[in-house]
Structure formats: C-alpha cells, structure tokens
Structure 1
Amino acid sequence: MAEVLSSSAASHDFRVHFQCISCSAYFNSGIKINTIFAKNRGFGMVAIAEGSIRISKPRISETYSLWKSIEVKSSWEMSNKVARSLEFESVCEEGKMPNLDENEEGISEKQILPPWGSLCDQDLEVQNHNLDDRSRISIRTTYDETENEIFYLEERNEEKLSKRLLRLSRSNKVRSALALYRSMKLSSLLPTSHACNSLLSCLLRNRKLDDALKIFEFMKSTEIITGHTYTLILKAVADIRNCDEALSMFEEAERDDKSKKYMDTIVYNTMISMFAKTNKWVQAERIWRSLQDNSQVGTLVTYRLLVCIFVRCGQNELAFDAYHEMVQNGLGPCDDSMQAIIGACAREGKWDMALNVLESMLNSEIKPSFIACNALINSLGKAGKVELAFKVYGLMKSLGYEPDAYTWNSLIGALNRANQHADALRLFESIRKEQSSVLNTHIYNTCLMSCQRLGLWDRAMQLLWQMEGSGFPVSVTSYNLVIGACEAARKPKVALQVYEHMVQQKLSPDVFTLLSLIRCCIWGSFWYEVEEILNSAPNGSLYNAAIQGMCLRSKTDLARKMYVKMREIGLKPDGKTRALMLQNLRKR
C-alpha cells in the first residue's frame, strides 16, 4: 500500500534506495536534481547527480529485474487527480537483486516519491485510467528494450570493469554485457582486448552478428584488436552469411597495413578450414600462398587441412607440395595427412614415396589405417613390386586387419604384372577354398587375365561358368578375356561359341570383342565369319585387322576385296594396311 503524506509532510526528506553493488538511486526533495533524458531513441536513461536510474520497456530479465509500482499522493495533489506510478528496473553487478521486505528499515515495495511525469515527454506513453480516486500513468520507452541501454558507472577503473564485462560475457548475459560495454564506451573507458573478445564470443553464440561487427569496428579503431578477434568474426561471417563475404573481409584486412600485423597463422587456418568444408581448393591454395608471402609459418593444422582438401579434390601435386613443406618446417605429419598422402601416392604411382610415408608412420608409432595399407599394396602391385606388396600384406595382418576383396585383387594383380600368372591362379584357388565370401567380379576378371596370358582357354571357360553359377554379374569384359584366352590358344570354334553365348545373354559386343574374334577366325580360316562380322559392325580398326590378317595368311585377293570395300564405305586404312596392299600389288 502506498503511504499517503499529509500536506505538512510534503517538504520532508524522503528516499527510495534500491540496494545494488553497481548502481543506486537517491532522491531528496530538498536537493536540486539534475535530470537528463535521451529522446528520440536515445540512451533510455535518467542520470541523477548522486546515482543512476534506467527507464526502459518493462520486462522480466532472465538474470535480474525489479519491478516496483510506486504510488505517489501528496498534499498538493487535488482529490480525484492522478496518482503517478513509475516502473523501475535496477541492475546490479552480480546480476541479482536482493529481496526487499517491508520490515527492512522501513523500506517496502511501495515508497513515496514525488511526481516525475515531467521528466518524460515524447518517448513516454501515458495511459490514464480512473481507478476510484486515482489514475495511473504507465511509462514505457518506445524503442527496443536492449538498444542503447547503458548504466551510470560509479566504478571508473577500466581493469575492474573489463573483468566485470568478462564475467557477464562468460555467463552468456548478453543484454547486461552489451549495456556495460556501451556505458564504458560512452564514459571514454576502454575495455581490454580479452574482455571485448569474450563479448564477441557471447554475441556470436547468440547469432547477434550485427552487434558483433559494431564492436569489431570499435576494436579496430581503438587498436585493441587481436588475431583471435579476426578468427571469431571471419568464422561467424562465413557461417551466418557466406564464405565469399568472409574472404572479402580477409582480403581487405590484408591490404590494410595496420590490420595486417594482427593476421596470425590461426586466422589463415580459419580461412583454409572454411574452404576445406566445401572443397574449394582454389581458394584454399590462394590463402596458403598468401600465408607464405606474408612470412607466416604454417602449423600442423595448416598442412593437415591443405593435404586433405587437395587429395579429396584430386590435386595430388599440390598435396605433395604441402606435405614436403610440412616436413621441411620440421613438423611431424599427423595421422590424417599421412593417410591422405599414401592414397595420393597410390593414384600417382609414387610407390616409393608412399612406402617412406608408411615407415614414418611406424617410426612415429602411428597405426596405419586399413585403407592406407590397401592403397599401398595396390600401388606396389601396379609397379610390379610383388615382394614389397606381400610384405605390406604381412604388416597389415600383424596390425590386426583382415584382407578384403580389394586386398586380394591387388595381390593377384601384382603377380600378373610380374608375369607370375600361374602363382596368381594358385593364390586365387587358395582364396576360393578358404575365403570364398570375399570373391567378386573383379577378382574373377583378374584371374581370367592370367588365363588369357597363359592361353588356358579351358580354365577361363571354367571360371566363366563359376561366375554365372555364383550369380556374379558377368560383363562384356569377362567375355572378352575368355575370347582372348581362346585366341591365345587358337581355338576359334570355342571363341565363336562364347561369342554366341554372350549375345544370348543380351550383351552387346564392343570393338575389343570383335577384334579378338576376327583374329581368331583368321587363324582358323573362318573367312565367311570374318566377313559377317565386318558387315555387322563396319569399323576402320576391324577392317585394318582383317586385311592385315588376310595378307599374313596369303589371302591377297580377299584382302584386296576388303580393301576396296573399306574405301567405298569411307573408312581410312592405317599405314600398315597401305604398306601391305602396296607389296601385294607389286607382286601381282
């Protein structure tokens, strides 16, 4: 209940005291009070000689708030006139407001105050309501409740205020932290870099990028900016807006000599990281070259990002350059970069470099991944380094990895490239007996290649039937290898049977199928079949192969006939065909 003063008590002193560490308000009727009110979306503050008070839009703060409805009725007020009411909000340093009891030193929730309605004019909304013998005035600011909210600071020590700002930011008290920052700025007090960076982090956690950019510009102008500041802002701009805008900010800072000195390696890593996420290797390389030009030294994170993005994007040479630079700078490669480099070496055929990287991993007690071991075995196999490939296979087994279809296919392929085709077939048989579940079409095709090289047409036929019986998809490549084995063994009839079976399976032969078939038929003197194949699929390569085979078998008349027909349908003979035809014409 509001206390009603008699007219004789109107001149007595009265005081409303809201206990708070950082702010307090004293009012005395006998003291001349200097008031300032910021209009037109100004500071939203009433500054008083002995203390401070904020007038803001009524709200319930998450951390602290105090709402008091104060009814004032003095003797100079006429009956049935307005009893004025103020809505106050007081913020203390720790973000909590002590509970006020009516019995504490005579201070109750409702205290007697003089009328303050004259303080506010344009920015206050006055609502009159007749409540029996009183009316109330509700005072509200017309601007956003957190915009330009400031405190009157009794504390003038920048270090203490910076610590207070740091605590509020870490507690994620965005509104209070912003208000304290603005109050310091208005009072020409400079927060520390650490406090401002913490405030930036708080704002960006709450996705208040616009406020963060304003503080960023203030830090630049006062030269309290750091590399960590740039890292926070660039990452936030890339996440909330886009990478291109972050790149523009980065390039602008690089052009500015004052800002450039704050761009440390971590800032460059941040830029490389944001482009690595989207596999934009061109921009990542650009940032890397900029880092080198500015005499910055990359870290392990720098080179790990570079190597991985270059390998993912197929830029293996750039990945090798980044890896060599990392080694030259005396940095021990990390697990990710080593695995990526081994994969790049496998694709580029640099088995020696891949082997050195594997040894480095073992010396650093880094366990190579299963994929890295497979990639190295495949690289060694392609180079025909059978012994080294099987050594890596033994290492993989010792590391606890079980070989899969890729491993076995790489090892069988290594034996084929080393012309150890019989060993390849024996290895296949052992796999089929012990681990038949890992067999697939690729392994069968690799074994068919061994049969082709050895001319084992019957073994090739057997493998083909096994593939079809096991339900594996049999491709044109598989049939080509079987026909090639028949060609090597000079079994034209069997080759034609395989070809007919292939057509029955609704598979269309390619050029390699027909070339092998023509060569088989020529060796078997199946001239009619050769002509049928040429008529069904007129092709320059097929005609050249047929004419050359006929000349070698002394079928010059048939060769000339095919040559004339070839020129009539517009196909061009190659050099070897023309030379053979000239020789035969002279003999005639």
Structure 2
Amino acid sequence: MFMELRKCGFEPDDVTMVSVISSCGSLGDLDLALQLHKCVFHAKSLVKSDILMLNSLIDLYGKCGRMDLAFRVFLRMKQRNVSSWTSMIVGYAMHGHVDEALECFCCMREAGVRPNHVTFVGVLSACVHGGKVQEGRRYFDMMKIDYGIMPGLPHFGCIVDLLGRAGLLEEAREIVEGMPVKANVAIWGCLMGACEKYGDVKMGELVAKQLLELEPWNDGVYVVLSNLYASRGMWEAVDRIRGLMKQSKLAKIPAYSLATSSD
C-alpha cells in the first residue's frame, strides 16, 4: 500500500511513516529499513515533533539486530520520551547486550524519565540473558516499590525464568504460587525447563500437573517429563509416561519440543 501511495504521487506524512516502519520492524528487513530511514527525513511534520518516527526507527533497527544504528538515531534526537529509552533497553536486551541495557536504564533514571511496565520487561529480560539474579530481584522490587507498577505476566515470567536458570527452583515456585493472577503456560513452562535442567523430579511432576491442566493436549509436557525421568534412570516411570501418551493418543510432533530454559 505504501508503494502504491508513492506511485499515485502522494507524499507520506509522519503518521504514514510510523505505520510503515512498524510493519518493516515485524519483517526484520534491514535493507528496507535503510530505505525507509531516508523517507523519514522527507516526512517530517512542521507542526509536530518527529519523536514518534524516530522512536519507530529505534525499534525497527533493534528488531533488525542493528543496535549501533539504533543508538545513532537515539543520540541525534533532540527530545526523548519513555518510549525512546524503552526501545533502546528492549533492543539491547533482545540481542543479549546485557550491560548496555542496564546502563541505558540507569541513564534513563538519571535523566528523570519515569520507566513504564514495558521498560521493566526489557530490564528483567536483560537480567535473564546475563544470569544477573541479584540485579533481577532488585529491579523486580524497584518496579513495585519505587514506581508502583504491579507486575504482569511478562514480568513474572522473566523473574521465574531468571531464578529457574540459576537453580533457585523453590524460590521460583513460591513466586508462581504467590502471583495475584493465574500463571500461564509460558511461566509454568519456564519452571518445567528448570526442573529438567537440574533434575528435580518431585517439582517437575507438580509443574507437569499444572501444565496438563492448562493444556491437556500438550505432548511436549510428557516428553520433558519423560526426559527428566530418564536423566535420573527412572526407566519404569519413562515407560509409564509413554504408555499414557499412547493411551491418550498423543504423539510427539516431528521437529517440535517444549521450550526449556536450557535452550
């Protein structure tokens, strides 16, 4: 539609560019991103700030894995809002640049910009990538105490994943059970992956029960539980799980497995 707009002789404005850049970000097409960057400067609004377009560019480059280009756009911005900083933090976290993400968050606070719930998803994700347990706990508490932001499922998912990867299974389970909202498959899945990684059969069985209550058809749960039993040499339990799969007419989907924290 954007190409048709240009062919018809219309000039895109800032609203058009934000929409197109967002679409390009979903594709992760860097070549197209570089072309659109040129169009941005021709679409600047004389009435409004171009902050929305530049934020979209930062997000776009982040999704394309070019945080160097995202940072260049960020540096040249005359105005920055919470979305500007958050896009940088999320981009860094997404690609494993842990120190850069946390440093950016620190600079954001020093600049007096109040983080939002998305910002903390990025910060906690960075902690997960870097295995920074103490920092993750501190930021999780900071979100609630300092900024009054109630954690949502993404935040709980990050902290459970962080603790699970570090082998702190009991603490992770306590957080899941103390959540004000019901844990979803993704959160229980993080804990299940940790149980498999550290060979915790007892907790693995409890988590598997929760997962199967949410998704009785999920063959991946049986597969991970079977692997967990096998890692402990519990071959009778392995045969029992396989029997349950046959009885329920569940067959493992080819080239598919339940995502775990050890992936």
| C-alpha distance 416-367 of structure 1, shift in aligned 2 (>3 A) | same
Deviation at 1:498, TM superposition (A): 2.3
Q: Are 1:489 and 2:195 matched, yes or no?
A: no
Alignment of 1:136-151 (within 5 A): none
Can you list the C-alpha shifts for 1:382-426, whole angstroms capped at 9, x where unaligned?
122233223332343345432122111101111222233443234
Can you list the C-alpha shifts for 1:428-451, whole angstroms capped at 9, x where unaligned?
244455456431111111111112
Aligned to 1:283: 4
**C-alpha distance in 1, partners of 2:149/2:53?**
33
| Contact 1:486 1:492 survives alignment (8 Å) | yes
**C-alpha distance in 2, partners of 1:346/1:499?**
35
449, 471, 474: which is aligned to 2:183?
474
32, 54, 76: which is aligned to 1:338?
54
**C-alpha distance in 2, partners of 1:515/1:455?**
21
207, 213, 218: which is aligned to 1:510?
218
Computed over aligned residues only, the root mean square deviation of the Cα atoms, in angstroms, reads: 3.2
Q: Are 1:307 and 2:14 matched, yes or no?
A: no
Aligned to 1:393: 105
Aligned to 1:367: 79
| C-alpha distance 511-311 of structure 1, shift in aligned 2 (>3 A) | farther
**C-alpha distance in 1, partners of 2:187/2:128?**
16
Deviation at 1:506, TM superposition (A): 4.5
**C-alpha distance in 2, partners of 1:431/1:305?**
32
**C-alpha distance in 1, partners of 2:5/2:17?**
11
| C-alpha distance 425-519 of structure 1, shift in aligned 2 (>3 A) | farther
Percent identity of paired positions between Structure 1 and Structure 2: 14
Give the residue type in structure 2 aligned to 1:500: K
Unaligned runs of 5+ in 1: 1-279, 292-300, 546-588
**C-alpha distance in 1, partners of 2:85/2:183?**
29
Q: Are 1:376 and 2:88 matched, yes or no?
A: yes
**C-alpha distance in 1, partners of 2:240/2:50?**
62
| C-alpha distance 456-311 of structure 1, shift in aligned 2 (>3 A) | same
Alignment of 1:78-93 (within 5 A): none
| Contact 1:306 1:322 survives alignment (8 Å) | no
Q: Hey, which of these two has a bigger chunk of helix by percent?
A: 2
Deviation at 1:341, TM superposition (A): 1.0
**C-alpha distance in 2, partners of 1:431/1:313?**
31
Aligned to 1:462: 174
Alignment of 1:483-562 (within 5 A): 483-503=192-212, 505-508=213-216, 510-537=218-245, 538-540=250-252
Deviation at 1:326, TM superposition (A): 6.1
**C-alpha distance in 1, partners of 2:99/2:198?**
31
Give the residue type in structure 2 aligned to 1:324: K
**TM-score using structure 1 length:** 0.37
Unaligned runs of 5+ in 2: 258-263
Deviation at 1:375, TM superposition (A): 1.4
| C-alpha distance 519-285 of structure 1, shift in aligned 2 (>3 A) | farther
| Contact 1:487 1:517 survives alignment (8 Å) | yes
Can you list the C-alpha shifts for 1:466-501, whole angstroms capped at 9, x where unaligned?
12xx1x131112112222222222111221122224
Aligned to 1:55: none
Give the residue type in structure 1 aligned to 2:161: M
Deviation at 1:305, TM superposition (A): 6.0
**C-alpha distance in 2, partners of 1:405/1:512?**
31
**C-alpha distance in 2, partners of 1:437/1:488?**
32
Can you list the C-alpha shifts for 1:251-279, whole angstroms capped at 9, x where unaligned?
xxxxxxxxxxxxxxxxxxxxxxxxxxxxx
- Flag the structure with more relative contact order, 1 or 2, with Cα contacts below 8 A and sequence separation at least 6: 2
23, 31, 34: which is aligned to 1:320?
34
Alignment of 1:185-200 (within 5 A): none
